[in-house]
């Protein structure tokens, strides 16, 4: 669901801010530098409060890749605000586990490459001790593979679950419940018919119970979650008697002992077919699902659908997102969703940026809905001429920062690289708040400031091999360059009038400095 009111509100605020600046420029030129510094320090948060209504602000992003295929599966965050991104890398024909840690400022403080997988891993999750749990499919797609690895990538236990025929068995999603039990969903084949399965292991790898079921003629599950009571929820796609050989959204709820409590299919508008890819549940056991679907049996165009369900898995509301207004051949797909403490719903996936046949160009998408299903905002992020995608989304319960993991496809080298993106929902972002002005003056000097053309940036002698980033008042990264040491110049004449933030990052931390750009006299 796209809103046309946001651009209008943003344009009003831009005009208002520009008028404020034009009023203050005359005054700023009449006061001494120290007074100007105090005024800018006071005025910057006011400028940051203006922006596209509710839009998030890019805080940082990070990419890492090899010459092969790399992708992230899951994000976790601990109580101290450290972010962990766990993924897979294809090296010398084998899959290796990659675990990356970021501090609260978005700096990657460690990267661990460990473990070798002989199986195709579809999903993974990290516990509070750093152990990694994975699920996927066995050799030649025989058996659902589930395993636990320690922080060094050493296998602790593994289990291969076989369907009755073991023609195609696939583990698609994994989650830990509150007691540390390992819950897996996916599908197996029986007489060439797909059935979804739910598996529950204890933390030592003992299979506690398994369920094989079907929502209709054929079905597969792709998402799984649990609630505080230990109930397990799964979602996926099902071919039913009324779906004309195409999939519709499907959900099921099981007790902690494996008893079916509720199940439902359909949900989508008439003659729209697709599959639900992820599921979440709130404290009142109301359920949220997202996925993508196409109008008509032949497909060719996909839109994103997000729903809220009651405790009996009946639909309460449905919202759709279409980036190209129904244009044939446009594919918008959602793969993950999460909730924040206020019950807002965040969906991530990707949107196609070029509908020309075979280009396969798309950007990362994040949509935020309130608990009633109203779209609050959406944002996209991507590289030029590439396929950017996301596989997981997380909202920090303390800072409300939004983290997305996934990757991007370099269409020139035909390789995939890891990618993590962070957005703030309020400005200034917490990593910019409270930066000591005196420390900034000593380590990062900018003159002239205000500037209208070329400005000079001088670094203290102790700063080497750093990165300099320039952000506008909305938090968008405008420029990034590597700085070895000493003095450098930056031409800011191409930037519009206003307040900007220069951030210097090195291995020890980050410093910020405010820059005021005004028109030439």
Strongest mean pLDDT among 40-49, 115-124, 362-371, 480-489 = 362-371
Question: Residue 387: what pLDDT?
Answer: 80
Gap between the Cα atoms of 311 and 493, Å rounded: 57
Return the higher-pLDDT residue of 479 and 70.
479
Residue 37's Cβ-count burial label (10 Å; 0-12, 13-18, 19+) is middle
Q: Is the pLDDT of residue 216 over 90?
A: no
Is the Cβ–Cβ distance between 502 and 511 less than 8 Å? no
Question: Residue 7: what pLDDT?
Answer: 26
**pLDDT grade for 69, boundaries at 50, 70 and 90:** low
Gap between the Cα atoms of 517 and 475, Å rounded: 16
Is the Cβ–Cβ distance between 480 and 465 less than 8 Å? no
Residue 224's Cβ-count burial label (10 Å; 0-12, 13-18, 19+) is buried
Question: Residue 107: what pLDDT?
Answer: 81
Mean pLDDT confidence for 21-49: 37
Number of H helices, E strands in the chain: 3, 35
Mean pLDDT confidence for 286-306: 84
With CA atoms as reference, report the closest residue to 73 among 57, 97, 40. Answer: 97
| H or E stretch covering 449 | none
CA distances from 234 to 170, 173, 255, 308, 352 (A): 15, 9, 12, 14, 27
Q: How many percent of the chain have pLDDT more than 90?
A: 36
Per DSSP bridges, beta strands 303-309 and 315-321 are antiparallel
Mean pLDDT confidence for 33-43: 40
Mean pLDDT confidence for 441-469: 79
Question: Which pair of tokens denotes residue 363?
Answer: 């950007």
CA distances from 29 to 25, 47, 492, 502, 521 (A): 6, 19, 19, 22, 11
Gap between the Cα atoms of 345 and 338, Å rounded: 6
Question: Residue 38: what pLDDT?
Answer: 42
Q: Is the pLDDT of residue 276 over 60?
A: yes
**pLDDT grade for 112, boundaries at 50, 70 and 90:** confident
Domains of the chain, each with CATH number or no CATH: 5-54+429-517 (2.60.40.3080)
Strand 144-149: give its sheet, edge to edge: 120-126, 132-137, 144-149, 155-161
């Amino acid at each position: 669901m796209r809103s046309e009111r946001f651009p209008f509100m943003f344009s009003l605020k831009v005009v208002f801010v520009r008028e404020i600046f034009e009023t203050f420029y005359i005054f700023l030129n009449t006061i001494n530098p120290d007074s100007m510094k105090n005024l800018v320090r006071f005025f910057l948060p006011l400028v940051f409060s203006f922006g596209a209504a509710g839009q998030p602000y890019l805080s940082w992003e990070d990419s890492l890749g090899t010459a092969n295929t790399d992708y992230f599966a899951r994000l976790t965050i601990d109580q101290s605000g450290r972010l962990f991104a766990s993924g897979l890398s294809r090296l010398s024909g084998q899959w290796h586990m990659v675990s990356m840690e970021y501090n609260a400022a978005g700096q990657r403080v460690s990267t661990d490459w460990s473990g070798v997988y002989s199986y195709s891993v579809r999903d993974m999750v990290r516990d509070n001790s750093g152990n990694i749990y994975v699920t996927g499919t066995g050799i030649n797609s025989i058996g659902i593979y589930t395993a636990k690895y320690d922080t060094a990538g050493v296998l602790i236990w593994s289990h291969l679950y076989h369907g009755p025929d073991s023609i195609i068995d696939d583990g698609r999603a994994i989650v830990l419940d509150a007691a540390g039990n390992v819950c897996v969903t996916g599908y197996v084949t029986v007489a060439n018919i797909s059935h979804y399965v739910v598996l529950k292991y204890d933390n030592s790898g003992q299979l506690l119970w398994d369920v094989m079921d079907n929502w209709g003629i054929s079905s597969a599950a792709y998402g799984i979650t649990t609630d505080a009571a230990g109930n397990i929820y799964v979602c996926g796609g099902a071919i039913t008697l009324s779906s004309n050989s195409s999939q519709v959204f499907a959900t099921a709820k099981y007790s902690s002992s494996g008893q079916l409590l509720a199940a439902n299919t359909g949900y989508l508008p008439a003659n729209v077919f697709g599959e639900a890819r992820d599921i979440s549940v709130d404290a009142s056991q109301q359920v949220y699902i997202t996925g993508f679907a196409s109008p008509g049996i032949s497909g060719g165009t996909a839109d994103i659908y997000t729903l809220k369900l009651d405790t009996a898995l009946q639909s309460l509301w449905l919202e759709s997102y279409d980036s190209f207004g129904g244009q044939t051949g446009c594919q918008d797909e959602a793969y993950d969703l999460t909730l924040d403490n206020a019950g807002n719903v965040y969906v991530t996936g990707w949107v196609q940026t070029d509908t020309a046949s075979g280009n396969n160009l798309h950007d990362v998408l994040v949509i935020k809905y309130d608990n009633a299903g109203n779209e609050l905002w959406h944002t996209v992020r991507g590289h030029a001429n590439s396929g950017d995608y996301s596989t997981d989304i997380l909202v920090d319960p303390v800072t409300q920062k939004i983290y997305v993991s996934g990757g991007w496809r370099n269409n020139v080298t035909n390789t995939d690289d890891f990618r993590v993106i962070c957005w703030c929902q309020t400005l200034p972002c917490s990593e910019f708040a409270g930066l000591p002005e005196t420390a900034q003056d000593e380590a990062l000097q900018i003159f002239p400031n205000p500037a209208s053309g070329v400005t000079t940036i001088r670094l203290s002698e102790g700063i080497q091999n750093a990165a300099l980033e320039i952000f506008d008042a909305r938090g968008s990264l405008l420029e990034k360059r590597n700085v070895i040491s000493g003095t450098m110049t930056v031409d800011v004449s191409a930037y519009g009038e206003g307040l900007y933030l220069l951030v210097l990052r090195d291995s020890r931390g980050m410093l910020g400095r405010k820059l005021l750009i005004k028109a030439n006299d």
